[in-house]
Amino acid sequence: MTTPLELVCPAGTPAGLKTAVDAGAHSVYCGYRDETNARNFPGLNFDRAEMKEAVTYAHDHGTKILIALNTFMRAGSTDLWKRGVDDAVAAGADALILADVGLVEYARKAHPKQRLHLSVQAAAATPEAIAFYRDRFGIARVVLPRVLTVEEIARLTAHAAPCETEVFVFGGLCVMAEGRCMLSSYATGKSPNMTGVCSPPSHVSYREESDALVACVGGFTVERFERGEPAGYPTLCKGRFEAQGAVSHLFEDPVSLNAVELLPRLAEIGVTAFKIEGRQRGRAYISTVVRAFRKAIDAMAAGDKVDFDELRALTEGQRETTGAYKKAWR
Amino acid sequence: MRGHLPPIFTNATGFLPLLPLEVIARRLLSNAMAARPSFAARLGEYAGRTFAIDPVDCPFVFLIKPEGGRTDLKVVRRSVAQGYDARIAAPLVVLIGMIDGTYDGDALFFSRDLMIEGDTEAVLALRNAIENAELDPSTVLGLPKSLQGPVNRGTRMLFVQLRRLLDAPEETGPNSGAFA
């Protein structure tokens, strides 16, 4: 390993950020409280003053702040996103995480020295796409989609250099090509791409029905959890439907990604940063997961082994997968 | 749901008047709101909603409307609890664990130790505002700084034992011993 590995951790609130920093995050990603970031949930995210304080707290503790402005600008109304870029730079962000190619162009021109990362929302999954962003805009790191195998990541990482690669290693698993998925838009009129919310809570409802928990999105019933069965947040891609007489998850089970066992291999192939999903999660989740992964990274460097059973309780559906990384995924 | 108080507690307290509990609960909520003035701002438009906080192992429900500086709180019997926008239900020690950051709300929901109904958006806003408030026992009790350390440590030890005794979900918060 030549480059030090970076643990990139989520924070949806100033308290969450403090927790992540204290738990050992090398860097923390977060966003403003508006449509510019892909976790635009009620009560979540940072106002301008909170972001400045967050940057100060993180820097005082040797942690970097990556500010996500990773939705796509609205045609004819781009000021919100551009102002977000300007404010993030002024706040002292170590990097901006961007998805919209127009916003990348703006950020590069307006702030030539600012470090820029390419969000997973940009869905850059080919050597050509990454090379374009790297050569044209000086993108320093690309966050790879969660639909690639480890060997595909190895080839992309080799092609991307000197652009770094970052991969998700834990948390909710988006099973689609992010930034291109329209399922949430279809069901609710809102999507992570434009408004920053997948399966917006305004369109989610639960009801108890004969001891079962029934979950709906935009009026569509997408899941029925029987008594004692672990539940999940309802999204169309992880719903369980009846089709041609059979009931099954048509796309994927509501399981959580846990690629901890793959960390050594991912480090070996040159991945620079390991990302934990979950800006919408609480301090209990952040502290547990961040400490565990930091411990793993430190142990890996020392050649020790770490037990990760305690992470299972925090996973969606209480079950885990290595996702597409090992192609065990359907 | 795990972590229920023994039924004998529910039965015994079912006959007690609710007014004293309401007075105490109002005072605790008032202390918390005074110590965390940004709480209502983080709740935003959802501060006007009425939340039913339902400790399922107790014979009462808290109805809370956290609007601005005039937070309204009522304690009512479960059978007459109505007119709320969202309901959050779990055993009492689990609900307290969500307030002090011991538990992750999503994890509780996934494991079916927490039930929500009604306005999901308002529930999320409340959860996120509580998360950011970083409330601890001494803040809620309105204690002076000199007492905060010992009271927080003592209360924490008490709840660790209580949750173990009641077979509540495993603790995972910033103060849990899992990685100490």
Q: What is the pLDDT of residue A1?
A: 44
Mean pLDDT (whole number) for A167-176: 84
- Which CATH class, in words, describes the domain spanning B7-165? alpha beta
Chain A window 296-325: which residues touch B at a Cβ cutoff of 8 Å?
310, 313-318
Q: Calculate the CA dihedral of residues A267, A272, A274, A279 and round it to 10 degrees.
A: 180
- Same domain for A286 and A244, yes or no, is no
Residue B176 above 60 pLDDT? no
Mean pLDDT (whole number) for A101-107: 98
Q: What is the DSSP letter of A12?
A: S
Q: What is the pLDDT of residue B178?
A: 32
Domain-located, residue A95 = yes
pTM: 0.89
Confidence class of residue A252 from pLDDT cuts 50, 70 and 90? low
Domain-located, residue A178 = no
- Same domain for A134 and A85, yes or no, is yes
**Do residue B44 and residue A44 have CB atoms under 8 angstroms apart?**
no
Q: Is A163 annotated as a binding residue?
A: no
Domain count, chain A: 2
In degrees, to the nearest 5, what angle opens at C-alpha A219 toward C-alphas A216 and A225?
20
* Distance from the B66 Cα atom to the nearest Cα atom in chain A, whole angstroms: 14
Q: What SS3 class is residue A10? A: strand
Question: B66 at the A interface (CB within 8 A)?
Answer: no
Mean pLDDT (whole number) for B54-78: 90
Chain B window 117-156: which residues touch A at a Cβ cutoff of 8 Å?
117, 120-129, 131-134
- Same domain for A154 and A274, yes or no, is yes
Neighbours of B68 (CB within 10 A): 12
Q: Whole domain around residue A36: which residue ranges? A: 6-173+255-326
- Same domain for A235 and A108, yes or no, is no
As a whole number of Å, the CA-based R_g of chain A is 19
Cα separation of B126 and B109, whole Å? 15
Report the residue count for chain A.
330
In B, which residues are within 8 Å of A293 by CB distance? none
Query: Looking at per-residue confidence, does A1 or B17 come out higher?
Result: B17
Cα separation of A166 and B22, whole Å? 51
Q: What is the pLDDT of residue A164?
A: 97
Over the range A200-228, which residues count as b (16 or more CB within 10 Å of their CB) and which as e?
A: bbbbbbbeeeeeebbbbbbeebbbebeee
pLDDT tens for each residue of B120-151: 999 999 999 999 999 999 999 999 989 999 99
Cα separation of A153 and A263, whole Å? 13
* Distance from the B146 Cα atom to the nearest Cα atom in chain A, whole angstroms: 23
**What's the CATH number where A272 sits?**
3.20.20.70
Confidence class of residue A269 from pLDDT cuts 50, 70 and 90? very high
CA B161 to the chain's CA centroid: 18
- Same domain for A242 and A260, yes or no, is no
Could you tell me the two tokens for B180?
């100490």
Question: Could you tell me if the ipTM is greater than 0.95?
Answer: no
> Which H, E and C letters describe A242-307, residue by residue?
EECCEEEECCCCCCEEECHHHHHHHHHCCCCEEEECCCCCCHHHHHHHHHHHHHHHHHHHHCCCCC
Q: What is the pLDDT of residue A230?
A: 84
Tell me what the pLDDT averaged over chain A comes to: 88
Q: Is A174 annotated as a binding residue?
A: yes
Query: Which among A249, A268, A301 is the end of a domain?
Result: A249
